[in-house]
Amino acid sequence: MIKKIAFLLFCLFTLLPLTAQIRINMGEDSPIRKLQIAEMAITNFYVDSVDEQKLVEDGIRGMIEKLDPHSSYLTAKEVKAANEPLQGNFEGIGVQFNMVEDTLLVVQPVVGGPSEKRGILAGDRIVYVNDTTIAGVSMSKEEIMRRLRGPKGTKVRLGIVRRGIADTLRFVITRDKIPVKSIDATYMIRPGVGYIRIGSFGAQTHEELCQSMMKLTGEGMQSLILDLQENGGGYLQSAVAIANEFLNKDDLIVYTKGRRVPRNDYRAQGNGLFKEGKVIVLVDSYSASAAEIVTGAIQDHDRGVVVGRRTYGKGLVQRPIDMPDGSMIRLTVAHYYTPSGRCIQKPYEKGKAKDYAMDVLNRLKSGELMHADSIHFADSLKYYTLKEHRVVYGGGGIMPDYYVPLDTTKYTRFHRELSARSYIINASLRYVDQYRKQLKKQYPTFALFKQQFEIPQKVTDDILAEAAKKDIKPKDEEELQRTLPYLRLQLKALVARDIWETSQYFAIMNEANDIVLRALELIKD
């Protein structure tokens, strides 16, 4: 036992110093010594047997939970799962998920993956896999992943609990090879105007972006809309490489600084592919971390303008600390700052991660998402852009140059009900499955499809009839008429995605996206 403790402490010494910055006091009164005695006492004298590995991991998690909301501890398998969406591909059902109170919560289905195509939504809770209940039974995340993953072509039955739906929903998912792509869409949205939507910042994102920009340049792109809506971030180095494509040599992109971490500047190399031409960056309240680095750099250098709603506000840098067993601590070691000196990290109270997670909902309740004048920044958070000296603010995300309110009338209550119960996605899948060959023959190009195709009345009638059987109806004729235009547009986009890919989906949906339309107005003006 003593040898094991000594080995663990030796590993701690070799892993944590990371130069000579971290010094551990091993005196009799040191916290490390106290922790060691507690672990030894529990392991050797506690009335029941204990899992020593789990005991140590719980202790680590307990310490980290008292820190900021972004520091975390991951087991070896959790590390692998967390890295896969950013590094490569795998075979499975295609969802990003977290465990919340012993329940698997779908954070986001992988774009184009089998789960998204079958109608799995962000916020869904998977309660059983095949015939095995996985919710509320303290099943390990590793065991759940083992049940969800499997060879391409095999099937898995899922039970889903969806907020607002009383019954457990049932899905049969055919596993597939999950492409982990960072770029969701690349196309010419108007003559001379390119559009690129980045979903996350992974290891291959910069390479994907360069390919997208070269493609669009070849098609006559003179201005670019860079869509970072709902982009939760990723690798800092990826964000730096992408910002480099728009800035001049030696322009500061971002710098990091912490209590024990000296300032580190990241600057543009001057070899970017799009240093001329208009750039408009689109953001919303889910744009975070690496997405905010790119946005802040472009805004602070007055290289382009930002359109949308205030970003998430994650200005903390996590450093991975690898453990001998493959587990990892992601420890916040520094803040990052935009070129003007802003730290855009929103306020938080240590140990109050749940309160922190409620921020976006609080923005909705406060009216911020609908009214710009609901947002207030202290004068102490005022900064200035580097060329035109425009006022910008730190301390709570990046405020766009052009604010676009959330249109709460576009999604009616009836539409939300139809979407929540997967009536819309299922109808599109059935329609494409039945008419795929005919559609491809009738519309050999997407341009022709976008111009001429309309969802048949029977498809929407079938949705309404199917929903009515479960007593899901519009409250009146006015709500139905407000629902139908967006419902038809969404169905058309889903059909386009299944025939082509996600670029075509966004090419249709963006024609009703107020943030995108505002950007097009600015470019035209």
Set 314, 340, 498, 503: catalytic member: 314
Q: Is 384 helix (H, G, I), strand (E, B) or coil?
A: strand
Residue 138, class by beta-carbon neighbours within 10 Å (0-12 exposed, 13-18 middle, 19+ buried)?
A: exposed
Q: What is d(CA 185, CA 132) in angstroms, rounded to the nearest whole number?
A: 37
Q: Strand ranges (DSSP E) for 124-245?
A: 125-129, 132-133, 155-161, 169-174, 176-178, 183-190, 193-198, 223-227
**300 in active site:** yes
**289 in active site:** yes
Distance set, CA 296 to CA 124, 206, 299, 341 (Å): 33, 18, 5, 10
Set 68, 176, 300, 401: catalytic member: 300
In the numeric block, which tokens belong to residue 5? 């403790």
Q: What is d(CA 364, CA 367) in angstroms, rounded to the nearest whole number?
A: 5
List the one residue out of 195, 196, 91 whose CA is nearest residue 148: 91
In this structure, the number of other CB atoms found within 10 A of the CB of residue 502 comes to: 20
Set 71, 289, 340, 428: catalytic member: 289
List the one residue out of 310, 420, 421 whose CA is nearest residue 370: 310
Q: In this structure, are residues 176 and 82 in contact, taking their beta carbons and an 8 Å threshold?
A: no
Q: What is d(CA 188, CA 186) in angstroms, rounded to the nearest whole number?
A: 7
Residue type, 510: N
| The length of the chain, given as a count of residues | 525
Residue type, 18: L
Q: What is d(CA 93, CA 160) in angstroms, rounded to the nearest whole number?
A: 14
In the numeric block, which tokens belong to residue 95? 């969802």
| Residue owning tokens 């730190």 | 394
Residue 170, class by beta-carbon neighbours within 10 Å (0-12 exposed, 13-18 middle, 19+ buried)?
A: exposed
In the numeric block, which tokens belong to residue 332? 């916040």
Q: What is d(CA 35, CA 378) in angstroms, rounded to the nearest whole number?
A: 42
Active-site residues, by number, are 289, 300, 314
